[in-house]
Amino acid sequence: MKRLNSKTQSIGAIINQAKLVLARGGLVVYPTETTYGLGVMATNTQAVAKLLKYKTRRQGKPLSIAVANQEMAQKYVQLNDQAKALYSSLLPGPVTVISKSLGKVAKGVASEFGNLGIRWSNYPLVTNLVQALGKPITATSANPSGQARPYSIDQLLKQLSAKQLTLIDLILDAGPLPKNPPSTVIDTTLSTPIVLRQGQTKLKTNHLLQTKSETETQELAGKIMLQHWDDLIQQGLIIGLDGALGTGKTVFAKGIAKFLGITQHITSPTYTYIHSYDFNRHGVKGQLHHIDVWKVDSSEMADKLKLKSLIRPRSILVIEWFDQVAKYLEPVIKNRKVKLTRVQISEKSKLNQEIDNSILINTHRWFALE
């Protein structure tokens, strides 16, 4: 492992050395405007495998790639009008824009939905390095999964095992970095852009979304699951679904089951109240509890379902007609500090937006999201 100081050595010399390391499949730690990042050539399968070995416990989470400009981005993703508008107004800068992948990166970089995040950084060292290399590099933070984002090399090295240290080929040390938030992440693959993560660039979150088919609704459900994956593992997750009969609540639940790798046929448990399914996603085992509380109209009935006992790490409750039990469950949710995402579904564009932390949708439905 070699360590270069960008303050005492010329940028040109540093870029030349980093370029050589990346070209032969090496792993490089480099500074950005948000934190220290971890780069390998995004088209090199063996290099990406090395990076994933370093990160550990990715559990299917995708990687983003750093590009030098929009022209390079368009070689790897399909830029729709939404994405182009974001590129024009926000990039280069601390923003990751997700678009449909063209399938030109190594396995493990794009998401399971076939989407790919693009980082066009405004940190000169990054863009100059990618420009010199002529190909994108990965743009994930340099910390091992589950560890704090590193703002100095010394902080990073303290996080690493001896095995992880041997995987690093080159460190570009720019000294302590400002403790900026991570990049803002925006998904442009649906009818409406979704802010998946608020970061250094603060954007207004659009809580009103529209999907145009059952397939797109299920894909949206999967993306929400990916967004809250760590919440599910650490304390459990509740997704509350509301909407009239036939608007797509069970379709949404099917999307969640598909994301979790559940292959059983999903039907609404209208008469049995609860259907439970085991899942094993990338080695993470847990349970999905699909619940229909349409006929629950008292705290006594809610207690009989023993919903409280189902709230635990690696357990997800997908509750149709959530508003029926909200007043019984919300104190428990607050006390347990479990993550709650509410989803309202309607066939009309007029939705009740008075519920805090909710998501709005449509399959020709409108969804109100948290």
Cα-Cα end-to-end distance for the chain = 44
Per-block average pLDDT, block size 10, for the chain (370 residues)?
A: 92 97 98 98 98 84 96 98 94 97 97 94 97 98 92 97 97 97 91 79 64 85 89 93 89 96 95 96 95 90 88 96 89 82 73 43 42
Nearest CA among 216, 65, 55, 51 for reference residue 135: 65
Same domain, 96 and 216: no
Within 10 A of 327 (CB to CB), how many other CB atoms are there? 10
Give pLDDT, residue 41.
99
124-133 vs 11-23: helix crossing angle, rounded to 10 = 50
Give pLDDT, residue 347.
66
Nearest CA among 61, 58, 37, 145 for reference residue 110: 61
Same domain, 95 and 146: yes
Within 10 A of 74 (CB to CB), how many other CB atoms are there? 17
Full DSSP string of 208-233 = EEEE-SHHHHHHHHHHHHHHTHHHHH
What CATH number is given to the structural domain containing 362? 3.40.50.300
Which range marks the domain in which residue 58 is found? Answer: 2-173
Count how many domains the chain has.
2
DSSP state, 58? -
What span, in angstroms and rounded, lies between the C-alpha atoms of 337 and 325?
17
Same domain, 163 and 92: yes
**CA separation, residue 179 to residues 9, 122, 176, 190 (Å):** 24, 16, 9, 32
Residue 194 lies in a domain: no
Same domain, 161 and 213: no
Residue 137 lies in a domain: yes
**CA separation, residue 46 to residues 57, 67, 126, 140 (Å):** 18, 20, 22, 17
Same domain, 225 and 148: no
Same domain, 93 and 238: no
Percentages helix, strand, coil for the chain, rounded to the nearest 5? 30, 25, 40
